[in-house]
Copies of this chain bind each other. A is one copy, B any other.
Amino acid sequence: MLMQTQLRTFPASQLHTNAITRSAPARGGFGTMEAMGSQMRFDPNEEIFGEGEPAEYVYKVTKGAVRTYKILCDGRRQIGGFYLPGDIFGLEVGKEHQFSAEAINDVTVLVMKHSLIVSLAERDCDTARELWSFTGRELNRVQEHLLLLVKTAQQRVASFLLEMSARLATTDAIELPMSRQDIADYLGLTIETVSRTMTQLVSEQAIGLPSSRRIVLRNSGALRQLNA
């Protein structure tokens, strides 16, 4: 059982087999720290860490998508954020993780020891500044997310699509990694409302929907106008 708990957080073979896999020098964010990371893989829906667990590690997505979430008292799930390649997650200021984290699809992350980063920050003020800056950006992101939740369903979905477009679009088409349920739980809506709203946006020529996970932004101005 002690085994199991460890396994859930750091599945099986990974901690040891993959610990050897050193990462290439970093491009963006947390410069030197990334040199210390090792790679880990997670299957779809696999837990990466759980709410309340000690925040031993910090993660950077190299492939796939991650969701963080809390289960509310009434059983609903609130998604706190989606993390895509290049994004850092699991970096806590306190001792424990405030949210749980799961892989959405096949995920590869770079793992760094929290304690190493913190102790480095105690000597190196640039690292300290970087930590502060990261948490500040996370704060801004959550503020934006909060503002979403007081809008109408159409506005929430439109904002979500624009955000995803900005984060993972190379063309005007995007391939969503997450399910309708994930989107719903992020936006504080039901799956049915998300679905209905999307078809509504299709009929308004704002988006195209060649398949349920594939979105084409036909009129991003109209989407933007719903909020601005």
Residues of A within 8 A of B (CB): 70, 72-73, 76, 78, 80, 92-94, 98-99, 121-123, 125, 128-129, 131-133, 135-140, 142-143, 145-147, 149-151, 188, 227-228
Contact = CB atoms under 8 A, between A and B. Distances in A.
Contacts of A129: 121-122, 128
Given A78-B147, A121-B132, A128-B132, 14 more contacts: A72-B147, A72-B151, A93-B136, A121-B125, A121-B129, A125-B125, A131-B132, A132-B132, A142-B143, A146-B146, A146-B149, A149-B150, A149-B188, A150-B188
A226 to B, nearest CB: 9
A73 B150 CA distance: 12
Top 7 closest pairs, chain A to chain B, by CB: A93-B136, A128-B128, A150-B188, A149-B149, A132-B132, A146-B146, A139-B139
Main secondary structure of the interface of A (DSSP, over half): helix
19 contacts: A80-B143, A93-B133, A93-B135, A93-B139, A94-B136, A94-B140, A121-B128, A121-B129, A121-B132, A122-B125, A131-B132, A135-B136, A135-B139, A142-B146, A145-B146, A146-B146, A146-B149, A149-B149, A150-B188
Contacts of A123: 125
Report copies per complex. Answer: 2
Contacts of A137: 93
A103 B70 CA distance: 34
A70 B147 contact: yes
Nearest to A225: B73
A129 to B, nearest CB: 7
A131 B92 CA distance: 14
A51 B132 CA distance: 21
Contacts of A228: 73
A93 B123 CA distance: 21
Contacts of A131: 132
Nearest to A151: B72
Contacts of A138: 139
